[in-house]
Amino acid sequence: MKILLKNGTILTMAGSEPEIIEGDLGIEDESIAYVGDTPGDFIPDKIIDASKKIIMPGLVNAHTHIAMSLMRHYADDLPFWEWLNDRILPMEEKLTPDDVYTGSLLSIAEMIRSGTTTFADMYFFMDAVAEAVAETGIRANISRGLVFNEAADLKKLDIGVKLFHDWHKKAGGRIHVDLAPHAPYTCGPEYLEHVRKSAEELGAHIHTHLSESRKEIETIYSLYNSSPIAYMEKLGMFRQKTFAAHCVYVSFDDIRILADYDVSVVNNPGSNFKLGNGFAPIPRFLNAGVNVALGTDGPASNNNLNVFEEMNLAALVNKAVHEDSTVVPAYTALQMATINGARALGREDEIGSLEAGKKADIILVDGGKPHFYPNFNPVPALVYAGQSADVDTVICNGRLLMEQGTLCTMNEDDVLAKAEKTSHRLALSS
């Protein structure tokens, strides 16, 4: 199928400086056919009027736990460990695969509505997440979260390996599978060695949490006389492509290690703020050449999956913390939400920018809203004024997932009703 996006303002995200093209974008099957002027031999099957629309790459949510949307608004304003141990874990113990599928659909609906076309997920019952991804048309890196408390937990690694064999590069290539040791404080060195060997054998990437809280730093130092990042380096974990969520409490040596091994940092400002876990030093990462992406974390700790909000927070708070209005400019925040996220997930050759030959993961943002006027520059307008509700149309892999605010691949009313019923059942039984 050929789709023509006509007369739009195209923000390609293809270079180190903003590239803005007034014109058309053509899609043929799964890929971008051209950007700019429409060739005379391109005969579209469908034309979408993009007048007053900003055409840009779909957003990448590089770290989340989407099924936790079922726990949204259930355990707020609590200390982190009380939130986790007293409220979240008891509810998680009640989850079934069907519950995870339901929570995944709820979150995918929210992500599509807010312009996310790719996400990276770490949780359990991941076959259910994969089914939801396959059905709805979104793109995802998925992984079975791995923790080790007893010998039986070795089976979780077997499940993660099986997930790789069953789903990696499936659903038309939209699904990639990573291995996900949860964190250094939940995975001992012997277990991490098993994970590392499996990742090497499979050629899988590693998705993990690192240096999220002060308690984690204290725990790892007490056990191994090392920071979590240095501990992971000593174990050889960074020999595989790795993207690490949070990285809030880091030393200059930690940053050097991340840069040396090309480990991507996934900044989760909304979740870190809400749980009182501090704020990652993003300018220091960027100055050291570390790739920085954006994630929302799970919707139980953030309460939404809105990458527009994460862009805004990442840009504004760094300016305040560093007392410097020039750090994390708007274009850098947009890079974090698009091409940097694609790079973190190992998918920069196929998504993250609008270039001929790349996959057609594209969103149209309604630039006709009052807060986009006057039309000086779409880059700061998107980051400092743009809202998730401004997303008008979403395309992933050349397929319309939302058109003019209507979801195309799921029955939203059914999804909301089932999620509401499931969440209340879980809360009553926890």
β-bridge mates for residue 239, sequence order? none
Residue 247 carries which side chain, given as an amino acid letter? Answer: C
- CATH class given for the domain over 2-56+360-407: mainly beta
How far from 219 is each of 3, 213, 246, 374, CA to CA, in Å?
54, 10, 17, 52
Which of these, 201, 203, 182, lies nearest to 124 by C-alpha position?
A: 182
170 three-state secondary structure = strand
Q: How far apart are CA 44 and CA 21, in angstroms?
A: 20
Q: How far apart are CA 83 and CA 75, in angstroms?
A: 6
pLDDT in tens, 285-305: 999 999 999 999 999 989 999
Q: Where are the domains of the chain?
A: 2-56+360-407, 59-344
Give the residues of the chain that fall short of pLDDT 70: 430
Which pLDDT score, from 0 to 100, does residue 167 have? 98
How many CA atoms lie within 13 Å of 9's alpha carbon, on the beta-carbon side?
A: 17
User: Residues for the chain: how many in total?
Assistant: 430
Q: What is the DSSP string of 209-269?
A: EES-SHHHHHHHHHHHSS-HHHHHHHTTGGGS-EEEEE--S--HHHHHHHHHTTPEEEE-H
Two structure tokens written together for 278: 């501090």
Which pLDDT score, from 0 to 100, does residue 152 have? 78
Q: How far apart are CA 32 and CA 53, in angstroms?
A: 18
Which pLDDT score, from 0 to 100, does residue 35 have? 98
Q: How far apart are CA 19 and CA 329, in angstroms?
A: 15
Contact 202, 161 (CB under 8 A): yes
The CATH architecture annotation of domain 59-344 reads Alpha-Beta Barrel (3.20)
Q: How far apart are CA 160 and CA 167, in angstroms?
A: 10
pLDDT in tens, 191-235: 999 999 999 999 999 999 999 999 999 999 999 999 999 999 999
407 three-state secondary structure = strand
pLDDT in tens, 390-419: 999 999 999 999 999 999 999 999 999 999
For every residue of 11-58, which 3-state class applies, written as one string? Answer: ECCCCCCCCEEEEEEEEECCEEEEEECCCCCCCCCEEEECCCEEEEEC
